[in-house]
Amino acid sequence: MKTVAQLLKLKDQKNQEVHQIKPDHMVLEALMKMAEKNVGALLVVENDVVLGIISERDYARKLVLHGRSSVGTPVRDIMVSPVITVDTHQTVDTCLGIMSDRRLRHLPVVEDGKLIGLLSIGDLVKEAIAEQAELIQQLEQYIRGE
């Protein structure tokens, strides 16, 4: 089973960038950045410390449904905090368990209190499927006596 460190190294350069915003920026800025980067969430970070996460779901449920304005509302007012994080020593299975139990789609990777990466549920599922396929291949070879 791969660790978070190994998985982060496998991500291509484009997907290693962690999109983030500061807590005092307005929600409209966060929405514009999410649209520009084609992502559904941003980490709320200040001085390399993860303070929270804001997603399109937070916008819909905490602003739109309450009739609030994205222009005058700071990100800190609707971000989810505290954020569940993992370190580079966790395994893919452990991360999948955390995300499943907590119903998360994004999992920040923090080492010594500093943000170093972000894993999505897609990253983890893709790796779990690859590992299962490899195991199946090994078992088939064993059964065939290869």
Contacts of 22 (CB under 8 A, 6+ apart): 44, 45, 46, 75
Q: C-alpha angle with apex 19: 108 to 67, nearest 5 degrees?
A: 95
pLDDT digit string, tens, across residues 12-33: 655 678 899 999 999 999 999 9
User: How does pLDDT run across 59-114, given as a tens digit for each residue?
Assistant: 989 888 878 888 989 999 999 999 999 999 999 999 999 999 999 999 999 998 88
Q: Which of 21, 5, 27, 1 has its CA nearest to residue 86?
A: 5
Q: Radius of gyration over alpha carbons of the chain, in Å?
A: 18
Mean pLDDT of 25-52: 93
In order of start, what are the domains of the chain with their CATH numbers? Answer: 4-144 (3.10.580.10)
Tell me the C-alpha distance between 34 and 20, whole Å: 9
